Amino acid sequence: MEWAQFSILIATLAGLFLWSRSEARIDRDEARSDWRHMDTKVDAIHAEIKDFHGRMCALEERYLNWVMRDK
């Protein structure tokens, strides 16, 4: 193998390595964005569950007051 071939091989491998790193960085940034988006959705669901639970407790209290009033 001549030195020219060896240097071309090394340059090719270095280029592929750098390209792979840049692609991995882009994928990692997209994954972080997806996680942030999912976190906001989970927070919204959590707030909705708390609101539903509060309304359900209020209805249960009204029902119990209504049932106890008849006794």
Residue 70 per-residue DSSP state: H
Range of the domain at 55: 1-71
pLDDT at 71: 62
At 9, list the tokens: 């091989």
AA identity, residue 59:
L
Backbone dihedral region for residue 2 (phi beyond 0: left; psi -120 to 50: alpha; all else: beta) = beta
Q: How many domains does the chain have?
A: 1
The tens digit of pLDDT for each residue in 9-32 reads: 999 999 999 999 999 999 999 999
Which pTM value belongs to this model?
Answer: 0.50
